[in-house]
Amino acid sequence: MKVQIPTNKPSIIDSIPNNVDMAQANINALLETNGISLMKTVDLIFWWCVDLLHLWGDITGLGYNLLNIMIFILLQPALILIFFILWLSERTRKGRFNG
């Protein structure tokens, strides 16, 4: 199989910004949709989740830090491992494990 290299430089190359500030401005403009910034939405969701963890920590008496550790250090990896093992055992049981 022979790879052909284009003889002319593609025009898209000229549109690529040559500095980080211009590239960041272009990325921000792409992420901006109808005046709603994706980054602002992500920040809003993040801080809402932090507030929710603080609330749950106060309700349970465990506190934010311990609840955060229990969820993201213990529970989430355990669930990922359990679901992986279940998937692997189901795949093996059906005889579709190809090593």
Domain ranges of the chain: 37-99
Q: Average pLDDT over the chain, rounded to whole? A: 84
Mean pLDDT over residues 16-21, rounded?
A: 75
Residue 86: predicted pLDDT? 96
pLDDT of residue 93 exceeding 70: yes
- Measured CA to CA, the distance from residue 87 to residue 93 in angstroms comes to 10
Confidence (pTM)? 0.54
Which one has a higher pLDDT value, 32 or 77? 77
- Measured CA to CA, the distance from residue 79 to residue 70 in angstroms comes to 12
- Measured CA to CA, the distance from residue 22 to residue 35 in angstroms comes to 20
Helix (H, G, I), strand (E, B) or coil at 94: coil
Residue type, 17: P
